[in-house]
Amino acid sequence: MRSLENPENYVILPASATNPRDLFVSMVRTNHSLTWYCAHKTVNRKGAFMPTPRQFIDFLELLKSGQPVYDGRGTLVERSRIESVLNDVSTKRGRWRAEWLDTYFIKTNGVWTINYEHRTRGDFVQSTRSEPLEACLMEDCYVNLSIVNRQGLPATKSINEDVYFCSPNNSGTVIGFGVFSNGGFINCNWNPHDASVGLGVRKFFEG
């Protein structure tokens, strides 16, 4: 098992069909007020990486599932602590909270491509995977986060006004997840050069 600093502050996301190996996920966001590029560089220097939308959704689904969750020491995490993490990530309230996710959208000749699994190479942040955008919602609407495509993007509208999806409408944008007093949102149209006090990143480590 990977040697982590303060492993009690991470949960183990077990390997699955969408994630080929165990991942260690920080229970808190860190490195606030950074652009998408600087957030990548900062966590990469620690040997960590920014989660893809699919990895982030899988993390949330694990916490919501009611199944046993283990920390980086292999110790069962108390349900009260899991609920505290979920409360911070998704509960509606006035303080705006958000986190960057690892996808960069490109549209060329009418065809959408997503770049992800970005890593720092010298002074540059470069993607290590690039592939066509799979079928997903291409309109702004409320969505069901339990039904997403392989890449982690919503595929079904929802009548419940809990999570609002801003679809990928502009080339050269990135994705983030957040929540405020009106509910949650997934925004595929963020400028990667933006930064905000309430915007951070969640560190993921490979097992």
Q: What is the pLDDT of residues 5-52, one digit of tens each?
A: 999 999 999 999 888 899 999 999 999 999 999 999 999 999 999 999
Tokens of 6: 């303060």
Q: What integer is the mean pLDDT of 138-165?
A: 95
**116 domain-assigned:** yes
52 and 31 assigned to the same domain: yes
Residue 79 shares a structural domain with residue 131: no
> Domain check: are 41 and 102 in the same one?
no
Counted domains in the chain: 2
Domain match, 78 and 23 both: yes
Asked if residue 128 is part of any domain, the answer here is yes
1: in domain: no
> At CA 16, angle to CA 101 and CA 60, rounded to 5?
45
Average of per-residue pLDDT across 160-189: 95
Q: Give the structural domain span for 189.
A: 97-197
φ, ψ of residue 24 to 5 degrees: the values are -105, 125
Which position has the higher pLDDT, 54 or 3?
54
Give the pLDDT of residue 1: 47
pTM (2 d.p.)? 0.95
133 in a domain, yes or no? Answer: yes
Residue 31 lies in a domain: yes
Residues 103 and 75 in one domain: no
In a domain, 177, yes or no: yes
Whether residues 115 and 186 fall in one domain: yes
How is residue 169 written in tokens? 């409408």
- Provide the percentage of residues in the chain whose pLDDT is more than 70: 99
